[in-house]
Structure 1
Amino acid sequence: MPSDSRLSRMLHVLIHMERHRGPVTSDVIARMLNTNPVVVRRTMSGLKDAGYLHSEKGHGGGWSLARPLDAITLRDIHEALGSPRVFAIGLSDDDPRCLVERAVNAALAEAMDTAEQQLLVRFAEVTIGALAAEVIPGMDAAGAPRPG
């Protein structure tokens, strides 16, 4: 099963958006992420529905932040993306009557549930603003070094 990189990609986009002047189009974001603008609009619409983004149509339009990044946590974005599974590890269901399979699945499920809860607690403690503050001061909004 491929990993779901939407959380890291959206955190990346949101930090760039904070440093960008004015709305950012789906085309610009798509080029940044090397994806299709339709995929960007679909993903961003979930963040808009959750109240983290605004969108403006037409010339000069695009996506903009609806809240400061200090008011948005990693968990907020994780949930706005539909709370994707945090583990790609799956349980076996070859023979649900097998006692060994059931014991293995129970142990794995308990461990993964505990780990996921701890991860989500940590996600709730970290704001995107804190991540943005870690960006190297000599960089521009596109991540390129500033001249000088």
Structure 2
Amino acid sequence: MKAANPLSDALHVMAHLVGQAEPRTSEQLAQCLPTHPVVIRRLLGQLQKGGLVHSVRGHGGGSQLARNAADITLHDIYIAIGAPALVQAGARDATRGCPIKQLVDQALDDGARQAQRLLEQRLQGITLDRLGAEFADHLQQHTPHGGSHAG
């Protein structure tokens, strides 16, 4: 079973909202991932609290970007969903166990912290409109005869 990746899911949802004139429902977005609409609603709630989407409930409702895609970085999305660890290494308690295990865990944890900082810097430099443009280019290259894409 695939492990949950909230950042990947949030980026996927946000990419599907770029350039949309009409709101998209959690059911529509769930088909794109694919996942359950409840998972999408949870993500959309976090993104709305972060000021990145605007959601309306009920018939005719759905979610849209709350800001211009050029003004939203992937780091903004990362922060909105609670800044989950991007890199995990080492043990739960690096102070226990034999001295060699402690050194190995410390080395892994140091590397994980450096990788985390690097990934966060990268996320700060990429805007949602850039991701959306890359998504559109990818679709154009991989969809025969300009067909539609579900995910």
TM-score normalized with structure 2 length: 0.82
- Give yes or no for contact 2:90–2:104 (8 Å, CA) kept in 1: no
**Aligned partners of 1:137 and 1:16: how far apart in 2?**
13
Shift in alpha-carbon separation, 1:67–1:92, aligned structure 2, 3 A: closer
Deviation at 1:56, TM superposition (A): 0.9
Residues 95 and 101, structure 1, Cα contact 8 Å, conserved in 2 = no
Gaps of 5+ in 1: none
SS of corresponding position for 1:51: coil
Q: What is the Cα deviation at residue 2 of structure 1?
A: 5.7
Q: Which residue of 2 aligns with 1:136?
A: 137
* Cα RMSD for the two superposed structures: 2.6
Corresponding residue number in structure 2 for 1:99: 99
Structure 2: unaligned runs, 5 residues or longer: none
Tell me: CA distance 1:138–1:109, structure 2 relative to 1, closer, same or farther (3 Å): closer
Q: Which residue of 2 aligns with 1:59?
A: 59
Give aligned pairs, total.
Answer: 144
Q: Deviation above 3 Å: which 4+ runs of structure 1?
A: 1-4, 92-95, 143-147
The answer to whether 1:33 aligns with 2:33 is yes
Secondary structure of the residue aligned to 2:146 is coil
Q: In structure 2, what is the Cα distance between the partners aligned to 1:93 and 1:9? A: 29
